[in-house]
Amino acid sequence: MSYSLIEGYRPPGVDEMLEASGLPRPAYADLLERLERWGPEGFQTRQARADLALLNAGITFTVYADEAGTERVFPFSLVPRIVGAQEWRGIEAGLVQRVRALNLFLGDVYNEQRVLRDGVIPADIVFGSEGYNLRMVGFRPPLGVYAHIVGTDLVRDQHGRFVALEDNLRTPSGVSYVLENRTVMLRVAPDLFPEARVASVSDYPVRLRNMLNEVRPAGVSAGDVNAVILTPGAYNSAYFEHTFLAQQMGIQLVEAADLIVHDSVVYLRATSGLERVHVIYRRVDDAFLDPIAFRPDSMLGVPGLANAYRAGNVTVVNAIGTGVADDKVVFRFVPDLIRYYLGEEPIIPNVETYVGALPEDLAQIRAHLKDLVVKPANASGGYGIVIGPQASDAELAAASSAIAENPRNWIAQPLVEFSTVPTYVDGRLQPRRADLRPYVLTGETPWVLPGALTRVALKEGSYIVNSSQGGGSTDTWVLEAGDAEGVEGVEEVAAS
Amino acid sequence: MLSRVAENLYWLGRYIERAENAARMAHVEYLAAIERGGQTGDGGSFWEPLLRASGAAHAFRIAVEQDSDLSPAYFLILSEDNPNSVRSSVVQARGLARAARELISREVWEEINELHLSLLGRAEVRDEDLYDLCRAVKRSVETIIGLYDHTVLHDEGGAWFRCGLYIERADMTSRILDTKYHVLLPAVSEVGGPLDRFQWMAVLRSASAWEAFRKVYHQDISGPRVAEMLIFHPVFPRSLRFCVRALGEHFRQAAVLTPAMDRLPAERSLALLELDMAALDINRVLAIGLHEFLDDFQRRLIEVQSGLTDQIFRAIPESVA
């Protein structure tokens, strides 16, 4: 059958929907047939209904730099991104492997420090990381878990394999969009789902709540766990997600001023008096958790929280000090950490990464600046990135001198020609680059949500998928076993 | 429950109710004025009592000095310079709902958010749109309250929300009465004319009480009867007596876990108010003076609120203080 929707669809490289031959992969063939039936009016009315549903639900994010109306709807693309069951199994195994190794690494660098003595990673890189927190030395959180919630950014590279771009171990956001995108799709495009074998994402809040119970402090029984979400407040860009998760888990959403520490026990200020808190899922950075411990000049945070944590009276999720493992410089060493701690070969390779802190890498960055993407080691949200091949001479010169000034603060990666997904533009489908952020929860054991946030660079030719920079998102379908395998498996990749 | 959140829900109830009252009063006044004939073009005159009842008369005079084209309808409904306009109340309610979102249902949140979006999109109020606009606001608020009843736990948070709702309603009914007491109780020589009758009807309609009044009083409409209905009727859901009793019931449910010493001031003010509302009658009120009675009533509501705010919502825990 021929598809009018994909006439003129010309992916610049590897595409999620079309094979190199130009034919749709089997997993997309059914979807395309159903999308064809919509016609242009069908797309328009569904898009309008989806946008209105998101707006009415207040599913918005805040753009700090934007003065007019600070709340915006996250642009939503109606065409789902599909990941086949077999390929997903590989991703799942690769993520579990990564998260296990990262948690072992965190336990090690804050305790025995074997990894440093064995020379797997230079000590000055670990101790020089902004995320390394001296307060954590000699402390081990419940179950030895530091990174309870991890969102790893993956992309499919020009060879067709998924590679890791970065691990988010501090306060990864976006999972609410995974759930809300699915809710919206079920509402406006129910006709796409029958027989598609799409894995459900709806039990994430239950799994998250169970995990928070599992990592409770010693001496608290499972039925009595008072867990809360700590938010910076209604002006934070991810506030919608904080309220969403609190609501879905049925736990209280608190601000720092609602909490009080007395004799190293954390309480919240309730109308009934003080109420003890056992687990804090915090959505604020380390620096704003406890002014006594981390920022004597700050009014923000809960004075005494770090002590209560070290006393074992409250569990902080993710642990304080996990930032050292999502440092972009430490990232370069994650494959080595997997080999070191688990004795396994990494299932998901890292994107090639050069760090300014290593002399041999720095030489490579200097020599190939024009071909590399340069990123600050300690920033997120797509800020401060210089894309060599697209940068002006002046921008390259500025980047070069910034790197010379503080090499530790910069890393560089080749420009990955990452894969495109179909998105609906002006009456037909067009390829746009997209990444994939799956989520891993770790309590007693790691669990991977069978779904992910797919962020799409909606501007033609763009590589930047961040919502703060013109990115949108789409529903991500992880297919359950028995589907038509559409996309080449990671198994091949691991072997290659 | 978190004290901060309890306070948010209380104010959510107040602002939601305030938005509905403002919309209903604007609508009733407007229709009454048209019916009386010819006054709509007459600047602020027929809006004046309404501006006073919603506490916006002073702000309006200042705003008009800045912008002589400013219409009272716009000021009462859409102006962001008027802290008691429908829009301002909805903006406040939406901010509070957003800050307490994990405690209210998705349905309640979406209705509040949609009401907010519908008002954001409006630049003007034309005479011919006034009816539909006010009706839409009223329906939306009633939907929110209905959804709150049927989709949110009837727990402490729900009780604080209803405390806010009933204290606001009591306050608003007493303000409507207070701005109209000279209409309700005119000099003897003017009593009973057709003009009075229309004005009394307008007062009743401002409080959604016209149909209920007809069912309760089979005699002619009169000022004292209107005042009696709005102050003392035991089961009319906007009367002061009804609102005070509902406020007391919801307060006792909300504060059941609050330490006794913290809830005492509000509890005491409320108990005395409930007692008076049960013991007084319209003749006693007329003897005291309607205006004096209403003035005192409003002062006592403020006392109740101070008890809630200072001793419960923002109390400093004893073990730490």
Within 8 A of B103 by CB-CB distance, chain A residues are: 247
Residue A496 has pLDDT above 80, yes or no: no
- Which value does ipTM take for this structure? 0.76
Amino acid at A123: A
Give CA–CA dist A368/A252, Å, rounded.
50
**End-to-end Cα distance, chain B:** 20
**Per residue in A82-107, pLDDT tens?**
999 999 999 999 999 999 999 999 99
Give the closest residue to A139 by CA, choosing from A294, A301, A289, A312. A312
List the single residue in A57, A243, A273 with the smallest CB-CB distance to B259: A273
Q: Do A271 and B106 touch (CB under 8 A)?
A: no
Residue B98 contacts residue A58 (beta carbons within 8 Å): yes
Main-chain dihedrals φ then ψ at residue B104, nearest 5 degrees = -105, 160
Q: Which of A234, A257, A273 sits opposite B317 (nearest CB)?
A: A273
Q: What is the pLDDT of residues A395-439, one digit of tens each?
A: 889 888 989 898 888 999 998 889 999 999 888 899 999 999 999
Which chain A residue has its CA at the smallest distance from B320's CA? Answer: A262
**What does DSSP say about strands A76-83 and A471-478: parallel, antiparallel, or unpaired?**
parallel
SS3 assignment for B222-237: CHHHHHHHHHHCCCCC
Residue ranges in chain B modelled with pLDDT below 70: 33, 35-46, 183-195, 317-321
| Residue A69: closest C-alpha in chain B | B120
Query: How far apart, in whole angstroms, are the C-alpha atoms of residue B251 and residue A200?
Result: 42
Annotated domain spans of chain A: 354-414
Contacts by residues A304-313 (CB-CB < 8 Å, ≥ 24 positions apart): A304/A261, A304/A264, A305/A259, A305/A261, A305/A266, A305/A280, A306/A135, A307/A261, A307/A264, A308/A261, A308/A264, A308/A265, A308/A266, A310/A135, A310/A139, A311/A264, A312/A142, A312/A217, A312/A218, A313/A217, A313/A264, A313/A265, A313/A266
Distance between CA atoms of residues B141 and B238, nearest Å = 15
Cβ neighbours of A262 in B, within 8 Å: 319-320
Query: Does the beta-carbon distance from A234 to B317 stay under 8 Å?
Result: no
Give the gap in angstroms from C-alpha B170 to the nearest C-alpha of chain A.
Answer: 24
Cβ contact, residue pair B110, A271, below 8 Å: no
Per DSSP bridges, beta strands A372-376 and A386-387 are: antiparallel
- Provide the pLDDT for residue B216: 87
Question: Between chains, do B3 and A274 touch, taking CB under 8 Å as contact?
Answer: no
Report chain B residues touching chain A, CB-CB < 8 A.
1-6, 95, 98-99, 101-103, 106, 109-110, 113-114, 117, 156, 254-255, 257-259, 312-313, 317-320
Beta bridge partners of A166: A153
User: How near does any CA of chain A get to the CA of B5, in Å?
Assistant: 9
Query: How many beta-carbon pairs below 8 A join chains A and B?
Result: 76
Chain B residues within an 8 Å CB radius of A253: 101-102
Hey, are the CB atoms on B1 and A258 less than 8 Å from each other? no
Q: Which of B2, B117, B258 sits opposite A258 (nearest CB)?
A: B2
Reported as a single tens digit per residue, the pLDDT across A336-380 is 999 999 999 999 999 999 999 899 999 999 999 999 999 887 666
DSSP letter, residue A408: G
Helix or strand or coil: residue A282?
strand
How many Å lie between the alpha carbon of B121 and the closest alpha carbon of chain A? 13
Beta bridge partners of residue A87, listed in sequence order? none
Give A135-161 pLDDT, tens digit per residue.
999 999 999 999 999 999 999 999 999
Q: Examine the pLDDT at A164 and tell me if it is beyond 60.
A: yes
In A423-456, which positions are buried (b, 16+ CB within 10 angstroms) versus exposed (e)? bbeeebbbbbbbbbbbbbbbbeebbbbbbbbbbb
Interchain proximity B113–A272, CB inside 8 Å:
no
Strand, helix or coil at A81? Answer: strand
Q: How far is CA B76 from CA A447, B55, B125, in A?
A: 55, 10, 10
Smallest Cβ distance to A253: which of B102, B114, B156?
A: B102
CATH among 3.30.1490.20, 3.30.365.10, 3.40.190.10, 3.30.1490.270 for A354-414: 3.30.1490.270
Sign, Cα dihedral of A364, A369, A370, A372: positive
Q: β-pairing, A265-270 with A259-262? A: antiparallel
In 3D space, the residue among A71, A103, A146 whose CA is nearest the CA of residue A321 turns out to be A146
* Contacts of residue A354, Cβ cutoff 8 Å, sequence gap at least 6: A332, A361, A362, A364, A365, A372, A411, A412, A413
Q: Residue A486: its pLDDT value, please? A: 47
Rounded Cα distance, A302 and A319, in Å: 15
Task: Retrieve residue A240's tokens.
Answer: 């919608």
**Which tokens in the block code for residue A463?**
């590589």
Judged by CB atoms closer than 8 Å, whether chains meet at B101 and A57 is answered as: no
Which residues in chain A touch residue B107, judged by CB atoms under 8 angstroms apart? none
Interchain pair B2, A268: CB under 8 A = yes
What is the residue-wise DSSP string for A139-164? ---GGG-S-SEEEEEEEE-TTS-EEE
- pLDDT tens digits for B161-212? 999 999 999 999 998 888 877 766 655 445 556 667 777 888 888 888 888 8
Per-domain residue ranges of chain B: 1-152, 153-321
What would you report as the CA-atom Rg of chain A, rounded to the nearest whole angstrom?
Answer: 23
Which DSSP symbol is given to A434? B
Distances (CA, A) of A148 to A172, A194, A245, A412: 10, 34, 15, 28
B106 contacts in A (CB within 8 Å)?
A: 57, 247
More confident residue, B36 or A307: A307
